[in-house]
């Protein structure tokens, strides 16, 4: 129960009373589910400083709260439900424990800075609380794995800390099966291969990673050629580790980088000229931009349900920009 809540805006000092169904929760977790517009890091600092108090006493973040306890809050905290967001969220699956989201390309899962970078996080927070009671508690999404900004497709988001831990353990144990589709330059000579190359940060470059014969963190990717499309190919990829930029780095190490990749590829955008020069395709003007992001899509994910342990699998359809490009390439290089 929230007293003097201010509907998602900073307001005067308020207090939270622990309801019977919330008894036994740790203080930080309890507060974070009522103040979802505030970061956990900020709430942790306020508890440590004694600004958030339990029954008028300064306590640690791990103190357990019980029915009837009162948590006093300092002025300026944003209480109430999260404000609505403009970015639509498309759910592939949802239950009381987790959701599977079809993440659009162009949005970072974890924002590097405030502003537009945080729009996806804000939209996810608002979407998960669309049916929450006005006074809370609310759902604080737990993103258990990441996709690069330009990567589209399946993304698992837990609705509670226990569900997040259960899914997270599967990623650590590498029992989650992930499948990606990628449009790359060139055509691998073999239909199937495995890239086993450690990945480390590029010396002197804080953005790029590199594949190394010695040193770095072990990384393994299975590669299957789905279609050969002239100077491009459609590949199916299965990573067996989760290193930063793993698929992009391994594809570049093979000599077949993504058709568009600002860090590891040969071009920053794919235009009509690229197709007309290499394939004689005149389906678009030379100046038309056909693709301006990495053509990498998280197609499918298979794991165990975080509560029941039953096997689950989710698939995201290929986004429009990749479908459109593949249609042009297939028209120039029909199968058979």
User: Cα separations (Å) of 291 from 125, 158, 234, 248, 270?
Assistant: 29, 32, 15, 16, 5
Contact present, 229 and 330 (Cβ < 8 Å):
yes
Residues involved in catalysis: 148
* Dihedral of alpha carbons 163, 165, 166, 168, sign: positive
Contact present, 82 and 15 (Cβ < 8 Å):
no
- Other Cβ atoms closer than 10 A to 151: 24
Strands (E) in 254-327, as ranges, are 270-271, 289-291, 296-304, 311-315
**DSSP code, position 20:** G
Strands 70-73 and 53-54: antiparallel
Region for 274 from its dihedrals, namely left if φ exceeds 0, alpha if ψ lies in -120 to 50, beta otherwise? alpha
Interhelix angle for 40-48 vs 27-34, to 10°?
130
Region for 230 from its dihedrals, namely left if φ exceeds 0, alpha if ψ lies in -120 to 50, beta otherwise? left
**Residues 6+ positions from 269 with CB-CB distance below 8 Å:** 260, 289, 290, 291, 292
Q: CA geometry: angle at 324 spanning 225 and 238, to 5°? A: 30
- Other Cβ atoms closer than 10 A to 114: 7
Cis geometry, peptide bond prior to residue 137 (ω within 30 degrees of 0) = yes
What's the token pair of residue 123?
Answer: 């939209």
């Amino acid at each position: 129960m929230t007293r003097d809540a201010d509907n998602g805006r900073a307001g005067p000092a308020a207090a939270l009373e622990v309801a019977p169904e919330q008894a036994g929760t740790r203080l930080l977790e309890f507060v974070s589910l009522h103040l979802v517009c505030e970061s956990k890091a900020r709430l942790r600092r306020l508890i440590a400083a004694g600004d958030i108090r339990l029954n008028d006493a300064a306590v640690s973040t791990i103190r357990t709260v019980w029915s009837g306890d009162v948590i006093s809050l300092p002025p300026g905290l944003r209480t109430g439900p999260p404000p609505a967001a403009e970015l639509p969220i498309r759910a592939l699956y949802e239950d009381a424990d987790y959701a599977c989201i079809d993440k659009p390309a162009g949005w970072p899962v974890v924002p590097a800075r405030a502003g537009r970078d945080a729009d996806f996080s804000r939209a996810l927070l608002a979407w998960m609380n669309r049916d929450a009671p006005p006074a809370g508690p609310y759902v604080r999404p737990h993103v258990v794995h990441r996709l690069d900004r330009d990567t589209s497709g399946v993304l698992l988001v837990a609705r509670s800390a226990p569900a997040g831990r259960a899914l997270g353990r599967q990623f650590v144990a590498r029992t989650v099966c992930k499948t990606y589709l990628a449009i790359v330059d060139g055509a691998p000579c073999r239909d199937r291969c495995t890239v086993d190359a450690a990945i480390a940060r590029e010396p002197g470059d804080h953005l790029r990673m590199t594949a190394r014969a010695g040193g770095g963190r072990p990384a393994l990717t299975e590669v299957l050629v789905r279609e050969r499309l002239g100077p491009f190919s459609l590949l199916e990829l299965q990573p067996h580790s989760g290193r930063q930029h793993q698929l992009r780095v391994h594809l570049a190490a093979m000599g077949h980088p993504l058709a568009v990749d600002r860090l590891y590829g040969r071009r920053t955008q794919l235009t009509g000229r690229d197709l007309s020069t290499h394939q004689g395709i005149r389906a678009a003007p030379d100046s038309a931009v056909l693709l301006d992001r990495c053509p990498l899509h998280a197609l499918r994910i298979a794991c165990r349900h975080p509560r029941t342990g039953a096997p689950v699998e989710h698939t995201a359809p290929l986004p429009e920009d990749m479908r459109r490009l593949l249609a042009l390439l297939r028209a120039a290089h029909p199968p058979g």
